[in-house]
Structure formats: C-alpha cells, structure tokens
Amino acid sequence: MLKDLMRYPIIQAPMAGGASSPRLAASVSNAGGLGFLAAGYKTAEEMKDEIGQTRQLTERPFGVNVFVPGNEAVDENILSGYREKIEKEAESVGAEIGKADSDDDDWGNKLHVLKEAGVSVVSFTFGCPTEDVIRELQDVGSLIAVTVTNLQEAKKAAGADILCVQGFEAGGHRASFDNRTEEDYGLLVLIRMIKDELSLPIIAAGGLMHGKDIAAVLEAGAIAAQLGTAFLRCPESGASPVHKAALGNPRFTQTSITRAFSGRRARGLVNHFLTEYDSVAPVAYPYVHHMTKQMRKAAGQKNNPELMALWAGQGYKLSRELPASELVELLVEELNWEGFGS
C-alpha cells in the first residue's frame, strides 16, 4: 500500500526536464516523503542510470514516472506554418527550429528496465497503459499510479492501484489522455467527482504549496499530496538556474496553459514566447517539443527566460527556497500530521 512507503503523505512530483533529479528524489524520500524520478524525454538507459544513482543516495522507496506515447495525426502544413512564425525567435538565440519529429519516448525499453528494476511506484502520464503492462509491473512489486484529469480518464484507469488526480492549477503538462482535451477541473472538484464514482486511493496534485493545502486535500479524501512547484527551487532540484530565478522574478506575474512550446497543453510562467505564440500553436505533441527544443536550450544558456518553457503551477509565488528535507519538515509541521492511522 502507498502509505507503507512513506512516513508523511507528501510526494515530490515527477518533473521532466531535469528538476526531479536523483538528489531531490532521494532527499525527499530520506525525509519521510516519497521522491519521484521523471523518465520523460530520457532514454531507458538514462532512466536506469538515475534509478541506480537514487538507490545509492537512499534506501527508502521512490517512484518513477513515464510518459505513455500517443499516435497523433498531424497536418504538415500547419507544422510548417508554425515553423515560419517561430523561426526568428530561434535565430535570436543562435538556434534553429528542429525537425518536427515524433517518437515513443523509448517506451518499450523503459518498460523493460522498469520490469527489472522493481521500483516502489511507477506512475504514468498522458495515458493509461494496457492491463498486461500494469500486471507485469505489479508482478515485480511496483504499485501503479495513473495520472488523470477528468472522470472519464479515471474510469479508464480503474485497473491501476492508485489514481494521481491532477487539478488544473498544476504546473507542467496537463496529463490528459487525449491531447485535444481541453476539459479542466480545479483539484477539489475533481477529487470529489472521482471519489463519488470510484474507490481507488487518490494522490492529489495541483497548486499545493503549504502544509494546510495538504491537510485540505487529505480532508477531501486523498491519501497523499503530490507537490511539484513547491520543490522546484530546492537546491537539490535540477531545474535550470534561469528557471529557478524566473520563479522569483517580478517580471513574471502569472501562469497560463499553452501549447506554444510542445504542442501539448502545459502551465508555465507567461513570458514572451507564450504570449506571442499561444494562440497559433498547433495541437501536435511531441512534434512541437522537438521543434522548439534547441531554441529553449540556447535561451537557457544565454540566460534568456523569455524563450524557455518556465513550467510552474498557479501557486508558484508561494514557493519557498529551502533544502528539500527542511521543506518536507516544514510542510509536516504546518500540516499538523498525526500519522496515517490504521
């Protein structure tokens, strides 16, 4: 059971792009929460390596998150139209717009590694794996969580052990099974809708920044809270220094959900690229991700937050720059935690 894996009902969210490093995941797990690695955008080998590194840093349980590949049909003309619009932005940082590629994020090889690794929890995003995949991972001792953003997705994921319920406050990509979905719910509404119909344990995610927020979702029926943005500024977080600095920069005043960077809806700080291209960005993941990859990287190297995907949840102004173990302790204190009970 999930609660046997941690002392406190606090999960550090998987955050692809470097933030949820082995150091961050291990620190959170060592502090009594549950750390998570994000395998998204990594090769299976890189994921395996990170699992090994994390095991060197903690003997406590931790989780690994993987992206479920889709097979979106895209219109080449729309992609080349977008390329023409954004080309000058890439050039401004000495980069090129990349080839509009699609891939399966090394799905098959990652499943193979995970079946060998037997990590405590495997969570899935952007879809629900088949019953066979779920069973094979359960057979090696992993608990399976599927991230959902509405009731239909929750019903499709009923074969998992746990639902990770993502409210629209959440930073980063919406976990929607279908990229065209634009159905967004606030976290409390979504927890209630799902709890009324299904009895699976719920991890709540989205906009949780303070111990009292965790208390609120536990009261609403979640078994644990998953926090991403709250951990982004920790020294152990592998988020880029430019991203970390932007979270505290008064130039940025709000977040918004956009397809501009990846072709999939994700919440981040409103910067130049998001403002200019949100309304013309195609529904085309991971094609647009590959197109903007070099530009985002070059912008980071040039200390230019205006062309980067600065993923952040609605609560980002409430984030606290503390070592991960101190943040976990503070959250527990604010939560007034008395244990999971029997």
Which of these, 212, 244, 219, 215, lies nearest to 316 by C-alpha position? 244
Distance in angstroms (rounded) separating the CA atoms of residues 291 and 50: 26
Binding residue (CB under 6 A) for ligand FMN from 9, 207, 211, 305: 207
**Stretch of residues binding ligand FMN (CB under 6 A), selected from 76-84, 86-94, 131-139, 312-320:** 312-320
What's the chain's Rg over C-alpha atoms? 19
Distance in angstroms (rounded) separating the CA atoms of residues 20 and 35: 8
Residues in CB range of 183: below 8 A, 6 or more apart: 149, 150, 176
Nearest distance in Å: CB 80, ligand FMN: 28
Contact 294, 177 (CB under 8 A): no
Is residue 229 a contact residue for ligand FMN (CB under 6 A)? yes
Q: Which is nearer to ligand FMN, 47 or 339 (CB)?
A: 47
Is residue 33 a contact residue for ligand FMN (CB under 6 A)? no
Q: Which is nearer to ligand FMN, 58 or 65 (CB)?
A: 65
Binding residue (CB under 6 A) for ligand FMN from 5, 13, 246, 324: 13
Binding residue (CB under 6 A) for ligand FMN from 12, 58, 65, 179: 65
Q: Which is nearer to ligand FMN, 229 or 271 (CB)?
A: 229
Nearest distance in Å: CB 213, ligand FMN: 9
Is residue 19 a contact residue for ligand FMN (CB under 6 A)? yes
Is residue 315 a contact residue for ligand FMN (CB under 6 A)? yes
Binding residue (CB under 6 A) for ligand FMN from 311, 319, 328, 337: 311
**Residue carrying structure tokens 């932005």:** 89
For residue 223, the SS3 value is: coil
**How does DSSP classify residue 305?**
G
**Stretch of residues binding ligand FMN (CB under 6 A), selected from 11-19, 26-34, 256-264, 334-342:** 11-19
Is residue 227 a contact residue for ligand FMN (CB under 6 A)? yes
Binding mask 126-165 for ligand FMN (x = CB under 6 A): ---------------------x------------------
Distance in angstroms (rounded) separating the CA atoms of residues 22 and 29: 10
> Which two structure tokens, joined as six digits, stand for 254?
């709000």
Q: Which is nearer to ligand FMN, 78 or 322 (CB)?
A: 322
Nearest distance in Å: CB 280, ligand FMN: 24
The DSSP bridge partners found for residue 63 are 36, 121
Is residue 40 a contact residue for ligand FMN (CB under 6 A)? yes
Distance in angstroms (rounded) separating the CA atoms of residues 123 and 302: 34
Is residue 228 a contact residue for ligand FMN (CB under 6 A)? yes
* Helix residue spans in the chain (DSSP H): 22-30, 44-57, 76-92, 107-117, 131-139, 151-156, 187-197, 211-219, 229-232, 241-247, 272-277, 287-301, 324-335
Which residues of the shown chain bind ligand FMN in the complex (CB under 6 A)?
13-17, 19, 38, 40, 65, 125, 147, 166, 169-173, 175, 205-208, 226-230, 311-313, 315
